[in-house]
Chain A
Amino acid sequence: MRFIKKTHYNQDIQLFKHRGQLFWYGALGVALLLFPLVLSEFYLGELSLVFIYAIAGIGLMLLTGYTGLVSLGHAAFLAIGAYTHAYLLAQGWPFPVSLICATLLSSLVGAIIGIPALRMTGIYLAVATLAFAIIVEQVLSHWVSVTGGFRGMAVELPSIGSLSLDDSIAFYFLCLFVLTCCLFLAMNLLRTSTGRAMTAIRDSEISAQSMGIHLAYTKTLAFGISAGFTGLAGSLLAHKIGYLAPDSFTLLTSIQLLLMVVVGGLGSLHGVIYGALFIGLLPQALALLRDTLPPVLAQIPGLEPGIFGLILVLVLIYEPQGIYGRWLKIRNYFEEFPLYRKATHKRQRSYLRTERLK
């Protein structure tokens, strides 16, 4: 076991708790920088997709994992980011400016959606965001002059100045760079008072309110920030898929995003990365699985969403802390080797009491 002797208050909010962490994250960073030397273009492309999912996941994690607000409609922000970016690029805006504008616009829309959310909790909020996502999907298919309707719209190739970012190595580094920036932003946000306020709201709205946290302001902010991250991911995704159509941003996409944060582990940024790896690589694994299955099973329509659903159910029942939670348990086991007690990680159950009268 490692005991950290704290001699200064600042140690509580350090990004890296001890040197071991610094070493391993550094090693991971170097490995990521060296990947293009060893991996083929296909896997680089898949990794870029994982990074993009991770950026969107950070957004959703801040909202769901840290503020405790569930959104079933994050595909809408993904779509808003993607379409805004593609539209602005088509109008001849430079790439970085367009990226930032797409982020800001999604963030703004998110904050506006967040305002009615102040009065709602739990399922009401989930359904409101779901309704919003469905409306956005309809707008995408009917607002032909901007979005191209069902025909969709092509996305221009990314380039900064004369430097083209189109080939897979350059795009990989672009996604990696944006993801690293986003992770740092999120980590920093979470150790500021705003981030702490968000966590407080998640744990108990009433006690947060009585500690003087402005609920409305913090929730709207959380929604805006979350939508901004997701919009940013959307604009990168636009380049990844190359051609935008309304059916890229459906209810299933929203649920995949949510699946990502749940499977990864709610309430941790590590979880986002694990979840993104899971979501990004699962379709490949399923494709491999399909080849080995007997054709009767492999031809089942909706097999992929079905397996998504099955995994979601199993994770929720057996490991609600997700992959990151499982990793913590394994690490704990080895750290305390002969003395590991299972009850350390026992979940606290709360019994139901409602405020309903009828």
Chain B
Amino acid sequence: MEVLQLLVSGISQGCVYGLIALGFVLIYKATEMVNFAQGDLMMLGAFFAYSYINVFEMPFYLAFPATIFTMAIIGALTERLLLRPMIGEPHFSVLMLTIGLGFILRAVAGAIWGNEPRSISTPYAGGVIDLNGLIIGYENLVIIVGTAALCLLLYLFFRFTRLGLAMQAASQNQLAAFYVGIPVKRVYSMVWAISASISAVAGILVAPVSLIDPLMGFVGIKAFAAAIVGGFGSLPGAILGGLIIGIVEQFAGLYLPPGFSDVSAYIILLAMLLIRPQGIFASMQRKKV
């Protein structure tokens, strides 16, 4: 029973990693840029949710879409102002740029909301389901269900909609996509908007379980590990990677000496990079000349 209990909390934690990783993967899949500030976007989303719910006293069901909408705008603006001048620059520069962006977002959040941890009140807080002694909090359940729903939505979006296909085309060959009439720049803004909204969802879902403060975005690094374990550029891979890391972390916390829980994500990452650098769901090939 203890094992099952750990498994459930591992899955719920893993879903959070997976959700942030989804944001990474989405941006990577569509623009081949790596956004190191993804965790900080999540932090920003959580803070907006906090403002809407606790400061402006909106009902939760209104605050949820409002947060997503705000974050979508912020995501698109970020792309327009910071990332667009970087189109055509080496990957490394973009990576550095998003690291810098992360620092800026943290400072901005600290300036607006201060440094003390906050929490948001949700209608489903506190309730539990008791399955023969296996106790699942509503918050954890919502995280798991929300993640699953979002995954399905994204899968359908990329598989069937014109915009989703356009995104894939733009990522595979910018110039060719532009020639066949895909508005590459606008598609990129859209991708950032979607990715920021996903991290907003992650922020709202995770807020009841962990506290909100400007440094919560550091979870992003673990989510990054998750994305790589799953195979960068693969949406199911991101979720799977997140689950693996979340579950291993829970078990490492119980059965291994202190300190291992914190680094287990990175040990898995390094091991993965040694054994199968392309990740579980590989989407890369050796570059041909």
Contacts and interface: CB of A to CB of B under 8 A. Distances in A.
Q: Do A and B come from one complex?
A: yes
A347 B87 CA distance: 12
B164 to A, nearest CB: 13
A316 B232 CA distance: 25
Nearest to B93: A316
Interface in B183-237: 214, 221, 224-225, 228, 232-234
A316 B224 contact: no
Summarize B's interface: helix, strand, loop or mixed. Answer: helix
Interface in A304-345: 305-313, 316-317, 320
Contacts of B87: 349
B100 A302 contact: no
Nearest to B269: A131
B162 interface: no
A309 B269 contact: no
Given A116-B270, A303-B107, A355-B284, A317 B82 contact: yes
Contact of A309 (B89, B102, B233, B265): B102
A39 B56 CA distance: 56
B47 to A, nearest CB: 14
B97 A301 contact: no
B58 interface: no
A307 B288 CA distance: 41
A166 B268 CA distance: 44
A116 B273 contact: yes
B259 A312 contact: no
Interface residues of B, number: 61
A352 B173 contact: yes
Contact of A142 (B95, B171, B174, B259): B259
B171 A354 contact: yes
Contact of B277 (A64, A120, A142, A350): A120
A316 B96 contact: yes
Contacts of A131: 225, 265-267, 269-270
Contact of B91 (A123, A303, A312, A355): A123
B97 A305 contact: no
A110 to B, nearest CB: 15
Closest 9 pairs (CB-CB, A-B): A306-B107, A309-B103, A349-B88, A312-B100, A131-B266, A309-B100, A301-B110, A313-B100, A352-B174
26 contacts: A116-B270, A116-B273, A116-B277, A123-B91, A124-B228, A124-B273, A127-B224, A128-B270, A131-B269, A131-B270, A132-B266, A132-B270, A134-B266, A135-B263, A206-B287, A302-B110, A309-B102, A310-B103, A313-B101, A316-B97, A317-B97, A347-B89, A351-B173, A353-B174, A355-B287, A356-B285
